[in-house]
Structure 1
Amino acid sequence: MVAGGNATLVLKEAGLKDRGVYRCLVRTSQWEHRAKVVLKVEAPVRGLSLELSRLSGYEEMKCTVRDVFPPPRVAWATEPPTFQDLRPITRMLADRRGLYTADSRLKVLKGQPDLIYICKVGTSYGGPTWTSSLRERAIAGSEGRDLTIPCFAPPYLNGPTLHWNFSNGEDPPAHILTYESRSGRGVSAPAWERHVELDGFRVPFGDGSLRLMDPERDRHQGAYSCVFSTPYNTYTERTDVAIDNPAANRSSSPQTSYWWIVGLVVAVTILALAAMLVYLKLRGNTPKASSRDPEEETELNSVKDLEGGNENSNRFDAGGNDAKLGLS
């Protein structure tokens, strides 16, 4: 009560419009008191999301924080640090209440697939800095064979809570299990109890790897998300798991071999036809051999030789006669 010396002003459901300077004046017959109060209204960061987006035609990390005042400050980093310049694009949008939504995007660096991308958000009014980290990977397994999906928390997270989720790309993400490092208690979803196993002794040391037992391709192929979280920090490893069916591969292999054999036979046939055509063409260009009998050909050659010899002999004799006639 003012009469009792309490001149406190109470603002109910304070909003951004109540920001400003408030002055209080208390005066009596004996003294006067003046006070000035600067009122700052803050909408603190209550959550931070970080995800991989491909909507722009290329891969980029998207960091989003909503309903914040004053405008937040966004910074990016990688683990391990990279020598390449990080050039994020950050947009600030204010709604009709004056609250800001920050949308910051960073292109995924090429040639460095194992990087951890870290988005940090703070405000000019101080307070805690929120951090969200994301790592993407892909592994493959076989149907019916146990598979370990790795997940390791960064060292700066102390006593985190672990969440595992699953998404097949069609249905909403399904909860697999939750583990509290401080209490040492874990809770699995009934549908996953017989298919997953977690080593609770390793989780406090940052190893939240999940063992997937007897996986089935239709039920367990998809994206697994491991999330370590503390009040102001989250670390996520998202793993795309592909599960093949060895039995189906074996059943399709004879058919595949059959088509290879058919292709080989066709190729050999074509080569044989081509060789035959080349042979026939070359044979058509060679002179035709005599169709006479070899003995007949020998006989004719002998006759020709004799006739040629007689002709020469006659010519010699004629010349001799001429010579004789000339002498007489």
Structure 2
Amino acid sequence: MAAMRTWALLLLWFRTSTQGKTPDVHITCVFSEDCVLPCSFQPASDQVIRWLRQEVVIYTLQLEDGEDGEDGEDGEDGEDGEDDQSEHEQYDGRASLFPNLVSHGNASLRLTKCGPRDRGRYRCQVNSTAGLHEAQVIVRVEAPVRSLSLSLELSRLDGYEELKCATRDVYPAPQIAWATDPPTAGGLRPNTRMLADEQGRYNVESRLRKLKDQSQLTYICRVNSSYGTQVWTASLTERAISWTERRNLTVPCHAPPHLPNPSLSWSFTNHNKPAIILTYNSKPQQSSVSTLWKERVVFDPAKVASGDGSLWLVEPNRLEHGGVYTCVYASLRTTHTVVTRVTMTSDSGEDAHVQEKHCGRTECCYSPGSFEQRKNCTSRQDVSHGVRYGVNDL
């Protein structure tokens, strides 16, 4: 009998202690933005609402019988009959309720300009004639990764080539991992630096020395957010092409599979002077080609979505078109870069790849492999294998 009475008392205590409590709520607030901590209760009279962080009261609102808190607009303090205040200097002017929603059982707390110091466990406590209601809210703050770049650079100190993977304004500090495709024997040894700014956000830079005698490698940098909410991937492939000037040239660019609605950009660097060649966005199917390159390039927009963003150069010359061509495929949280170094030798004869076909006088006949063409083409013309930009009197 004594044992049964003990169990009955324990059960009664458990029911009493958990009355008015709700399961913990986990929310993620975005760095420097406003955030709402939810709390709902059964409306009653003589309500006193308190919010506590780590068991320290940070905000109080007291409504006496007959007051409903609906004098103010949504998110603004009401007038007459409300005694509300922030009780911690960290939240002074940053914490508020929604007064016109309190009478409807909404005691949610709004925090403005959230930062790292706002992380932690919060407790919403509503005391009224209906009893005590409590709710726990677990808050974490995140500045998500918004971009990731991977580039090939020359080390200023040692003169060797290295890959730089970088992202900015991230919180908490993310995790960085490197890999190659195909995998290489031995571990990779990147040098990673994470520097926090005055607000606590991290600028991340990870450098990996380019492996010797491994020209066919694809380098992969992955960034995982600390909370596991995001994974960003950037990859880079490098290749070299030796070509004879005035012969039509295909500069290949192939993306990894399964990139939804990708965008594509091509740029060219010669004598350390970078220039944009073209950009293309597959979702609105819009493209833009630099005026300086309109008479030199052909590319096939229809193939971009399937992973082929190759660029075709019409009769390039070594002085103007020998250099580094960079193709960047970009999709949601994924980028793939192809760096192609093109060196050209002088032309020693007739271009064997330019042949006459039975075309109309103002028509150009193209095939992606040979770029066959006829002289005196129109200034801009759609062709069967792509879009031709302003090739005149080639």
Distance 1:165 1:54 in 2: 18
**2:253 pairs with 1:151:** yes
Q: Aligned residue for 1:232?
A: 333
AA matched with 1:165? S
Secondary structure of the 1:112 match is coil
Secondary structure of the 1:41 match is strand
Secondary structure of the 2:145 match is coil
Greater displacement, 108-117 / 212-221? 212-221
Q: 1:246 aligns with which of 347, 351, 375?
A: 347
Distance 1:205 1:30, change over 3 A: closer
AA matched with 2:189? R
Distance 2:171 2:285 in 1: 37
Q: Aligned residue for 1:32?
A: 132
AA matched with 1:152? H
Deviations 1:222-244 (CA, angstroms, capped at 9, x unpaired): 21110111020000001122233
TM-fit CA distance, 1:52: 1.6
Distance 1:157 1:235 in 2: 10
Q: 2:302 aligns with which of 176, 181, 201?
A: 201
TM-fit CA distance, 1:182: 4.2
AA matched with 1:71? A
**2:114 pairs with 1:14:** yes
Q: Aligned residue for 1:64?
A: 166
Distance 2:292 2:182 in 1: 37
Tell me the TM-score normalized by structure 2.
0.59
Contact 2:253 2:311 in 1 (8 A): yes
Distance 1:64 1:178 in 2: 22
Q: Aligned residue for 1:142?
A: 244
* Greater share of strand: 2
TM-fit CA distance, 1:184: 4.2
**2:319 pairs with 1:191:** no
TM-fit CA distance, 1:68: 0.8
Distance 2:307 2:129 in 1: 68
Contact 2:260 2:332 in 1 (8 A): no
TM-fit CA distance, 1:192: 1.1
Distance 2:169 2:240 in 1: 34
AA matched with 1:39? V
How many residues align? The count is 247
Distance 1:109 1:167 in 2: 23
Distance 1:182 1:103 in 2: 31
1:1-328 → structure 2 map (5 Å cutoff) = 1=99, 2-55=102-155, 56-57=157-158, 58-171=160-273, 173-246=274-347
Secondary structure of the 2:142 match is coil
Distance 1:111 1:218 in 2: 29
Greater displacement, 190-199 / 214-223? 214-223
Identity of aligned residues (%): 49
Contact 2:246 2:347 in 1 (8 A): no
Deviations 1:67-103 (CA, angstroms, capped at 9, x unpaired): 1111100011111222232222222222221111222
Distance 2:303 2:103 in 1: 63
AA matched with 1:231? L
Distance 2:129 2:224 in 1: 49
Secondary structure of the 1:10 match is strand
AA matched with 2:122? Y
Distance 1:30 1:72 in 2: 46
AA matched with 2:224? G
AA matched with 1:242? T
Secondary structure of the 1:50 match is strand
AA matched with 1:189? S
AA matched with 2:294? E
Q: Which has the larger radius of gyration?
A: 1
